[in-house]
């Protein structure tokens, strides 16, 4: 019987490196192993240092190990062909063409990637036989929970549609009925503790612990009970002589005790290394530490150059930073902070929003990330309704909750249709189409447009979801603009003229948001990364994709940079030397101003620390640079 391991957790905690380490370990033990990533911004190729892509690929130098990176676009084409292939044989070409159009909307992209994921749960095999173990390297927690919930939601949605019009937002029930049975089998497999385990990777930090608690609780609601932990990124005890790391060790010690007390689960611990986890040899060495309790020796630490002290301050170009942060004239300045999960987008967003508000700009701070850590960093509650942030005049904050937003969105769409005199039959069809998991994505997107195009603010700061999901959100205006004419309900209602008028209004909204995102006078896209290969490459690939949409990257933020004055030990000097190499690569890949955010001895939480960082990143350095 195949064993399934899901690696989950907050962005940036090391899920991919721990999943890859575990995969190599099982393969070396002679088990036929497959590792699959469900993260839209996959890093498997970076860790294994070879091309993988949307097909099962043998990993070099590791017999028994294969990998696959699910590509949403390729999965969509495969999904549509599986659904429509049998129908082509029995239905007229014109009818098949209509079904093809109905399955060409953005909803299909989400369900297709999910459908490919469930293939491995349902039939964990390739042409050469069955896999002994399948490892899923998942997207950050909020999106993983969304993925896991989908089998339940789509099974229900298909059932309900079958009792009504027979139509779902991803096509007719007749074309997807077989999927329902596959989803039900996937649910049963994930609930079977003898087959499936969820391994949560976390750092000894407050937000990571909080997110792990939330994820376990949500999985338990779905009947998934088998959980383990890997606590990653623990500072080596011998670094306590360094004042910066002494502070972090003290902080981590408190959280390690909290984890042991609050999460009494099977747990492995992994120390912070002075370099990256890349390549098969290093994965094997990490496996010895993680699974055998081996010492962290020269095989893992002390490999890099210890020469540090490169002057990197010129890269900040802070006057140009101000041009891209401050509002221009009557335009609202919309700043999007994007990047790999866990790189510090929320911190950069909060620091920037608080600083702008302190400069007397009326500022809205919001998040589209399901994890929604704004409140943790601000130190104040953030709800689904826009509310002022106490003690910071000119600052308001809100989080976009997909489920709450979907309810409001559905009510608005149906009420609008009723006011326009749509026939009862058309309303019922609309209800069925809106009663699907896709509606949450559409609703969050709709709210995103509402905030991004409002004229109530001088500055709007977006703390976005991790890279792949953010790109999906930003591409939605273009996707939905192209799909507005493909609506079953408008054909059935007999009121095509009214539908056309509604489409014209919607297209006008999409045009405004697209124009805004492409205008550097109005929008700033800032990528946050820490100076290591994986986040740098992920940000670069995302910036290239944005460029293909005619959306320019304006700023980059390098986070967790070790201050030179803190580099007093071989370990810290080696890490700083590694960081300097990647800071130089960032400057080469992104021809835009670079802002450095320092590693602190403590977590960034609370307005006092945010004010201090804002002064350090913007005001103080800017005054020094201009003096």
Q: What is the tens place of the pLDDT at every residue in 441-493? A: 677 777 877 887 778 899 999 887 644 555 555 555 555 444 433 343 334 44
| Annotated active-site residue in 2, 8, 16, 467 | 16
- In the chain, % of residues over pLDDT 70: 75
| Annotated active-site residue in 39, 132, 137, 446 | 39
Assess whether pLDDT exceeds 80 at residue 279. Answer: yes
Structure tokens at 326: 């401050």
| Annotated active-site residue in 9, 10, 15, 137 | 15
Shared domain check, 248 and 344: no
**Sole residue written with tokens 């994505």:** 441
Structure tokens at 443: 């609703």
Active site residue 12: yes
The closest of 70, 77, 123, 128 to 104, measured between CA atoms, is 77
Alpha helices by DSSP H, 263-306:
280-292
Question: What are the distances in angstroms from CA 547 to CA 452, 478, 562?
Answer: 20, 14, 31
Burial class (CB in 10 A: 0-12, 13-18, 19+), 202: buried
Please tell me the predicted confidence (pLDDT) of residue 360: 94
Evaluate whether residue 538 is within a structural domain. Answer: yes
Contacts of 497 (CB under 8 A, 6+ apart): none
Contacts of 587 (CB under 8 A, 6+ apart): 315, 594
**What is the Cα Rg of the chain in Å?**
25
Shared domain check, 343 and 254: no
Shared domain check, 252 and 372: no
Evaluate whether residue 36 is within a structural domain. Answer: yes
**Sole residue written with tokens 């293909």:** 548
Shared domain check, 379 and 281: no
> Which residues, listed in sequence order, are joined to residue 399 by a DSSP beta bridge?
367
- In the chain, % of residues over pLDDT 90: 36
Mean pLDDT for the stretch of residues 540-558:
89
CA distance 205 to 430: 45
The closest of 475, 601, 618 to 557, measured between CA atoms, is 618
Shared domain check, 238 and 332: no
Shared domain check, 271 and 163: yes
What is the three-class DSSP state of 395? strand
Shared domain check, 223 and 104: yes
Please tell me the predicted confidence (pLDDT) of residue 312: 55
**Sole residue written with tokens 């009557």:** 330
Give the domain CATH number at 174: 3.40.50.300
Highest mean pLDDT among 346-360, 480-494, 548-562: 346-360
Evaluate whether residue 559 is within a structural domain. Answer: yes
Please tell me the predicted confidence (pLDDT) of residue 425: 76
How many residues in total does the chain contain? 627
Structure tokens at 472: 């999906």
Evaluate whether residue 544 is within a structural domain. Answer: yes
What is the three-class DSSP state of 134? strand
Please tell me the predicted confidence (pLDDT) of residue 625: 46
Evaluate whether residue 353 is within a structural domain. Answer: yes
| Annotated active-site residue in 42, 534, 554, 572 | 534
Alpha helices by DSSP H, 222-317:
243-262, 280-292
Mean pLDDT for the stretch of residues 112-120:
77
Structure tokens at 186: 């996937």
CA distance 583 to 311: 11
CA distance 99 to 483: 14
Range list of β-strands (E), 60-188: 65-69, 125-126, 129-130, 133-137, 167-168, 171-172
CA distance 70 to 44: 11
Active site residue 14: yes
Q: Rounding to the nearest 10 degrees, give the CA dihedral for residues 413, 414, 418, 423.
A: 120
Shared domain check, 340 and 258: no
Assess whether pLDDT exceeds 80 at residue 538. Answer: yes
Assess whether pLDDT exceeds 70 at residue 605. Answer: yes
Evaluate whether residue 564 is within a structural domain. Answer: yes
CA distance 34 to 58: 9
**Final residue before a domain boundary, out of 259, 292, 325:** 292
Local structure of residue 618 (DSSP, 8 states): I
Mean pLDDT for the stretch of residues 338-359:
91
- Spatial contact of 484 and 507, defined as CB atoms under 8 Å apart: yes
Phi then psi for 480, rounded to 5 degrees? Answer: -70, -30
Active site residue 16: yes
Please tell me the predicted confidence (pLDDT) of residue 271: 93
Evaluate whether residue 573 is within a structural domain. Answer: yes
- Residues 476-487 as b/e (b if ≥16 CB within 10 A, e otherwise) read bbebbbebbeeb
**Sole residue written with tokens 């905690």:** 13
Assess whether pLDDT exceeds 90 at residue 513. Answer: no
Shared domain check, 287 and 318: no
Highest mean pLDDT among 7-16, 177-186, 242-251: 242-251
pLDDT band at 152 (very low <50, low <70, confident <90, very high): low
**Final residue before a domain boundary, out of 292, 327, 357:** 292
Please tell me the predicted confidence (pLDDT) of residue 170: 47
Taking each helix axis from N to C end, the angle separating 106-122 and 141-163, rounded to the nearest 10 degrees, works out to: 100
Count: domains in the chain: 2
Local structure of residue 468 (DSSP, 8 states): H
| Annotated active-site residue in 12, 105, 142, 614 | 12
Question: What are the distances in angstroms from CA 255 to CA 12, 217, 290?
Answer: 17, 20, 19
Range of the domain at 46: 3-292
Please tell me the predicted confidence (pLDDT) of residue 267: 95
Active site residue 38: no
Assess whether pLDDT exceeds 50 at residue 2. Answer: yes
Active site residue 11: no
Assess whether pLDDT exceeds 90 at residue 341. Answer: no
Active site residue 39: yes
Contacts of 591 (CB under 8 A, 6+ apart): none
Please tell me the predicted confidence (pLDDT) of residue 400: 85
How confident is the model over 386-436, as pLDDT tens digits?
999 988 999 999 988 877 888 888 888 788 778 877 777 777 767 766 666
Shared domain check, 288 and 319: no
Shared domain check, 275 and 330: no
Mean pLDDT for the stretch of residues 169-176:
50
How confident is the model over 33-88, as pLDDT tens digits?
999 987 666 789 989 999 998 899 999 999 999 999 988 778 777 777 776 776 67
Evaluate whether residue 452 is within a structural domain. Answer: no
| Annotated active-site residue in 14, 105, 142, 344 | 14
pLDDT band at 316 (very low <50, low <70, confident <90, very high): low
Highest mean pLDDT among 294-298, 485-489, 497-501, 533-537: 533-537
CA distance 391 to 608: 11
Please tell me the predicted confidence (pLDDT) of residue 613: 93
DSSP 401-416: -HHHHHHHHHHHHHHH
Pairing between strand 395-399 and 387-388? antiparallel
CA distance 8 to 370: 14
What is the three-class DSSP state of 110? helix
Helices (H) and strands (E) in the chain, counts: 23, 20
Please tell me the predicted confidence (pLDDT) of residue 201: 95
Shared domain check, 366 and 228: no
Active site residue 207: no
More confident residue, 244 or 157: 244
What is the three-class DSSP state of 138? coil
More confident residue, 372 or 268: 268
């Amino acid at each position: 019987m195949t064993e399934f391991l899901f690696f989950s957790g907050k962005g940036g905690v090391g899920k991919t490196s721990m999943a890859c380490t575990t995969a190599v370990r099982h393969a070396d033990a002679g088990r036929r192993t497959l590792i699959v990533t469900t993260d839209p911004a996959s890093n498997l190729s970076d860790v294994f240092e070879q091309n993988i892509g949307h097909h099962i690929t043998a990993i070099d130098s590791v017999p028994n190990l294969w990998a696959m990176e699910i590509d949403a676009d390729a999965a969509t084409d495969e999904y549509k062909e599986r659904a429509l292939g049998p129908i082509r044989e029995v239905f007229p070409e014109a009818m098949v063409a209509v079904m093809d159009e109905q399955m060409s909307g953005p909803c299909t992209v989400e369900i297709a990637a999910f459908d490919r994921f469930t293939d491995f749960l349902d039939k964990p095999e390739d042409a050469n036989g069955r896999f002994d173990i399948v490892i899923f390297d998942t997207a950050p927690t909020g999106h993983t929970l969304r993925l896991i919930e989908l089998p339940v939601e789509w099974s229900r949605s298909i059932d309900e549609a079958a009792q009504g019009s027979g139509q779902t937002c991803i096509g007719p029930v007749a074309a997807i009925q077989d999927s329902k049975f596959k989803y039900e089998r996937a649910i049963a497999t994930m609930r079977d503790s003898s087959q499936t385990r969820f391994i949560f990777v976390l750092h000894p930090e407050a937000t990571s612990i909080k997110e792990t608690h939330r994820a376990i609780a949500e999985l338990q609601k779905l009947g998934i009970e088998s959980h383990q932990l890997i606590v990653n990124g623990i500072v080596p005890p011998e670094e306590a002589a360094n004042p910066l790391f002494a502070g972090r060790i003290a902080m981590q010690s408190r959280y390690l005790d909290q984890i042991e007390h609050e999460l009494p689960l099977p747990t492995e611990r992994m120390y912070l290394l002075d370099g990256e986890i890349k390549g098969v040899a290093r994965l094997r060495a990490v496996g010895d530490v993680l699974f055998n309790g081996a010492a962290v020796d020269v095989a893992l630490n002390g490999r890099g150059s210890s020469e540090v002290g490169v002057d990197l301050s010129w890269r900040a170009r802070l006057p140009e930073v101000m041009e891209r942060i401050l509002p221009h004239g009557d335009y609202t300045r919309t700043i999007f902070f994007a990047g790999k999960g866990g790189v510090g987008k929320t911190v950069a967003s909060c620091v920037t929003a608080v600083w702008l508000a302190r400069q007397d700009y009326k500022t809205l701070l919001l998040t589209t990330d399901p994890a929604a850590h704004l409140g943790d960093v601000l130190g104040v509650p953030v709800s689904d309704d826009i509310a002022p942030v106490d003690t910071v005049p000119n600052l308001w904050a809100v989080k976009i909750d997909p489920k709450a937003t979907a309810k409001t969105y559905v009510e608005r769409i149906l009420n609008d249709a009723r006011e326009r005199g749509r026939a009862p039959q058309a309303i019922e069809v609309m209800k069925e189409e809106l009663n699907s998991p896709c509606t949450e994505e559409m609703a969050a997107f709709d709210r995103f447009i509402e905030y991004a195009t409002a004229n109530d603010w001088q500055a709007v700061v977006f703390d976005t979801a991790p890279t792949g999901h953010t790109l999906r959100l930003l591409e939605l205006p273009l996707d939905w603009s192209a799909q507005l004419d493909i609506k079953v309900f408008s054909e059935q209602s007999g009121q095509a003229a009214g539908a056309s008028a509604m489409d014209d209004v919607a297209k006008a909204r999409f045009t405004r948001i697209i124009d805004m995102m492409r205008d550097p006078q109005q929008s700033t896209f800032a990528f946050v990364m820490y100076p290591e290969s994986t986040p740098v490459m992920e940000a670069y690939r995302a910036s290239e994709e944005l460029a293909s949409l005619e959306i320019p990257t304006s700023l980059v933020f390098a986070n967790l940079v070790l201050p030179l004055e803190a580099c007093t030990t071989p370990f810290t000097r080696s890490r700083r030397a590694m960081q300097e190499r990647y800071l130089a690569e960032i400057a080469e890949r992104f021809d835009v101003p670079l802002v450095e955010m320092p590693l602190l001895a403590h977590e960034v939480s609370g307005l006092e620390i945010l004010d201090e960082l804002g002064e350090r990143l913007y005001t103080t350095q800017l005054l020094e640079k201009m003096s």
